[in-house]
Amino acid sequence: MTLPTSMNALILKEDGFGNTRTGSAIETLEPYLDYGILPVPKPGPGEVLIRVRMASVNPSDLYFIKGEYGQPRVKGAAAGFEGVGDVIDGNGLFARYLKGKRVAFAGAVNGSGAWAEYVVVQAATCVPVKKAMRDEDAAGHVVNPVTAWTMFDIVKQSKSKSFVFTAAFSQLGKLMAGLARDNGYAMIAIIRKQSQEAHLRELGAKHVLVQSDPDFDTKLAALMKSEKPRVLLDAVANQVSADIFSAMPARARWVVYGKLDTEAPALNEPGQLIFMNKKIEGFWLVNWFKRASMLEKLMTIRAVQNRFISGAWSTEVVATVKLEDAMRELPEALKLGDGKVMIKP
């Protein structure tokens, strides 16, 4: 098959970091991206060229294009961290083994990105996808499901059979709800919209608290007594999060893994860090990938794929936007809420 020399892509307009802290909300893509043409990237040693089938849109992508994420932008490169596609070329033994296979990927190289027709990634980071897995599940297979699986280990290590989870109707929250129920843990899910409560309970959350409920504090305090959660898994990091942490029992850990709210929280009870042995820390999947052994990674990937194939997990997609329409349609699609948005070349 002859490869084209150029491709369509959503291209970053700026370099480095931005000086805003506006979060993942997007009104328009114009300041950050152009829809345009790039050369088809060439795989270097140990790399593969993938024809993208579908790419996911995660909050991290949105922070990144604005220059608000933990790694700098490269002007002129394609955006998009994660997706699924077919390996069509590669350099090196493993790369050649992957040729013709459908793979999930996260983290492109050589100025390429997932929001494009073609992407180059390191062969070693590709995850061959079993036939029975849907593209919708495979496109978001690495970042959120692996994060859910590894953060659930933090809960298991806490020696409490419960945990608190904010932004619980996120894809990650939905995955955690299933893991909690299937392993006999009580998830105390915190959400903003009452309309999401019933579905979250169906997915496995034992308790669901709506932030705007006038009895929120009383209900939370009662759950702290009855369930004694020791871990707060938090992607919001605002005052609600800080107050939940203050209400938690001794030895509680506040694990911040996202910053969905732009508010800077105040820690009203810092003495708890001293006298109640409470701790505040961060979690970033990138560090887990650096730290975990190859065996641990393979076992995690296999467990994650099996959960999707068995139907224990499913990616709830609210919209699929064509790459060529993304500049116009993506911001509106993201406002639909309650599920993932995908981009399809």
Ligand X SMILES: NC(=O)c1ccc[n+]([C@@H]2O[C@H](COP(=O)([O-])OP(=O)(O)OC[C@H]3O[C@@H](n4cnc5c(N)ncnc54)[C@H](OP(=O)(O)O)[C@@H]3O)[C@@H](O)[C@H]2O)c1
The yes or no reply on residue 138 touching ligand X (CB under 6 A) is no
Q: How far is the CB of 94 from ligand X (least distance, A)?
A: 25
Q: How far is the CB of 56 from ligand X (least distance, A)?
A: 8
The yes or no reply on residue 333 touching ligand X (CB under 6 A) is no
Q: Which residue minimizes CB distance to ligand X?
A: 258
Q: Which of 88, 109, 210, 285 binds ligand X (CB under 6 A)?
A: 285
Alpha helix (H) residue ranges in 139-248:
143-157, 171-182, 197-203, 216-227, 239-247
Q: How far is the CB of 193 from ligand X (least distance, A)?
A: 5
Selected range binding ligand X among 1-9, 106-114, 170-178, 264-272, rule: CB under 6 A:
170-178
Q: How far is the CB of 125 from ligand X (least distance, A)?
A: 15
The yes or no reply on residue 112 touching ligand X (CB under 6 A) is no
Q: Which of 127, 129, 177, 236 binds ligand X (CB under 6 A)?
A: 236
Q: How far is the CB of 190 from ligand X (least distance, A)?
A: 8
Pattern 18-57, ligand X, x by CB under 6 A: ----------------------------------------
The yes or no reply on residue 171 touching ligand X (CB under 6 A) is yes
| Contact present, 253 and 232 (Cβ < 8 Å) | yes
Local structure of 207: helix, strand or coil: strand
- How many residues form the binding site for ligand X (CB under 6 A)? 24
The yes or no reply on residue 58 touching ligand X (CB under 6 A) is yes
Q: What is the identity of the amino acid at 79?
A: A
Selected range binding ligand X among 12-20, 113-121, 283-291, 299-307, rule: CB under 6 A:
283-291
For the beta carbon of residue 192, count every other beta carbon within 10 angstroms. 16
Residue 143 has φ and ψ, to the nearest 5°, of: -70, -65
Local structure of 345: helix, strand or coil: coil
Q: How far is the CB of 315 from ligand X (least distance, A)?
A: 9
Q: How far is the CB of 341 from ligand X (least distance, A)?
A: 8
Q: What is the identity of the amino acid at 284?
A: W
Q: How far is the CB of 275 from ligand X (least distance, A)?
A: 29
The span from the CA of 250 to the CA of 255, in Å, is: 15
Q: How far is Cα of residue 288 from the mean position of the Cα atoms in its chain?
A: 14
The span from the CA of 50 to the CA of 114, in Å, is: 9
The span from the CA of 87 to the CA of 100, in Å, is: 5
Per the structure block, which two tokens stand in for 187?
């998830």
Q: What is the identity of the amino acid at 301?
A: I
The span from the CA of 32 to the CA of 190, in Å, is: 32
- Chain positions 82 to 101 lying near ligand X, rule: CB under 6 A, are none
The yes or no reply on residue 78 touching ligand X (CB under 6 A) is no
- Closest to ligand X by CB, 38 vs 172, is 172
The yes or no reply on residue 17 touching ligand X (CB under 6 A) is no
Per the structure block, which two tokens stand in for 307?
């959960």
The yes or no reply on residue 308 touching ligand X (CB under 6 A) is no
Q: How far is CA 279 from CA 27, 166, 240, 264, in A?
A: 36, 17, 17, 18
- All residues at 6 or more sequence positions from 138 whose CB lies less than 8 Å from its CB, including other chains: 54, 84, 102, 104, 129, 308
Residues that bind ligand X (CB under 6 A): 58-60, 143-144, 147, 167, 169-172, 192-193, 235-236, 257-258, 260-261, 283-285, 337, 340
